[in-house]
């Protein structure tokens, strides 16, 4: 491959958009996929696809990657939060919507990449600290990210020549964070207090800054066994990691 190339799902906003910009700025080629499109100039090919439409995914990837000889990196980043509320008030339909986008769409993408039979050096699935924290209100999102971690481990056996990681990217000041810091009641959901404090003190990177951080950490992930779940704070900020996960 002449040029480094990256597939990024969910690159129309937040982390995915920031990662796309950072990779383009390094001279890489971006293949993006989202419903809205990223609208970026430069060496970026983009396809619009609703990843909850599983039949549409293979067609979109075939069109997007038809000319690619392989990929250096695939970042399966697209995700949705759902509403913060108690599990017993969350319907099965709501859970299914979140699991479709955050988990099963990634299974369909991985299946397509597995059958593509072109070289892929590294796949990073964007997980979350919510995968292990189990905080009140994070219902469908936490379930989907916990299952995503196991999906990563399971598929690591089926990609012998590709390194897989489930990566929690840390807090990002995106649309998701805007919702978390404005809508649910922090008295009702105590885990929100840490997010409010961090946001008010300006400690949460925006999508562009988070994209640069994630891009910088991607090569570090190769030091861990394929299939691992890694939190970016383990690498960049072990004290903050210990604080969050011992609380």
Ligand X SMILES: NC(=O)c1ccc[n+]([C@@H]2O[C@H](COP(=O)([O-])OP(=O)(O)OC[C@H]3O[C@@H](n4cnc5c(N)ncnc54)[C@H](OP(=O)(O)O)[C@@H]3O)[C@@H](O)[C@H]2O)c1
Residues near ligand X, by CB under 6 A: 10-16, 34-36, 50-52, 77-80, 101, 126, 128, 168-169, 171-172, 174-177, 207
Q: Which residue, among 87, 194, 93, 187, has the nearest Cα to 137 in the 3D structure?
A: 87
Report helix angle 139-156 to 105-116, nearest 10: 20
Q: Tell me if residue 138 falls in helix, strand or coil.
A: coil
Shortest distance, position 13 Cβ to ligand X, whole Å: 4
Shortest distance, position 119 Cβ to ligand X, whole Å: 25
User: Which residue, 24 or 51, has its beta carbon nearer to ligand X?
Assistant: 51
The number of CA neighbours under 13 Å toward the Cβ of 169 is 32
168 close to 128: Cβ distance less than 8 angstroms? yes
User: Which residue, 78 or 104, has its beta carbon nearer to ligand X?
Assistant: 78
C-alpha angle 77-83-85 in degrees, rounded to nearest 5: 130
Phi and psi dihedrals of 76, rounded to 5?
Answer: -90, 95
> And the tokens for 182?
């404005």
Shortest distance, position 14 Cβ to ligand X, whole Å: 2
User: Which residue, 34 or 90, has its beta carbon nearer to ligand X?
Assistant: 34
Shortest distance, position 50 Cβ to ligand X, whole Å: 5
User: Which residue, 52 or 226, has its beta carbon nearer to ligand X?
Assistant: 52
């Amino acid at each position: 491959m002449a040029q480094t190339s990256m597939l990024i799902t969910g690159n129309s906003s937040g982390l995915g958009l920031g990662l796309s910009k950072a990779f383009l700025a390094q001279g890489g080629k971006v293949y993006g996929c989202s419903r809205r499109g990223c609208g970026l100039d430069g060496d970026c090919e983009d396809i619009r696809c609703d990843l909850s439409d599983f039949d549409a995914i293979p067609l979109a990837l075939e069109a997007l990657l038809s000319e690619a000889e392989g990929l250096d990196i695939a970042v399966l980043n697209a995700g949705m939060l759902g509403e913060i509320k108690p599990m017993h008030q969350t319907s099965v339909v709501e859970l299914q919507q979140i699991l479709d986008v955050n988990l099963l769409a990634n299974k369909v993408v991985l299946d397509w990449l597995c059958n593509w039979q072109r070289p892929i050096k590294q796949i990073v699935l964007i997980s979350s600290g919510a995968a292990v924290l189990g905080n009140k209100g994070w219902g469908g999102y936490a379930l989907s990210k916990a299952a995503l971690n196991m999906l990563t481990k399971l598929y690591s056996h089926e990609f012998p020549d590709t390194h897989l990681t489930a990566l929690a990217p840390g807090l990002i000041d995106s649309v998701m964070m805007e919702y978390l810091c404005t809508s649910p009641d922090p008295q009702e959901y105590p885990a929100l207090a840490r997010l409010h404090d961090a946001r008010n003190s300006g400690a949460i990177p925006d999508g562009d800054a988070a994209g640069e951080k994630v891009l910088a950490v991607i090569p570090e992930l190769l030091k861990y066994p394929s299939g691992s779940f890694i939190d970016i704070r383990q690498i960049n900020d072990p004290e903050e990691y210990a604080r969050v996960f011992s609380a």
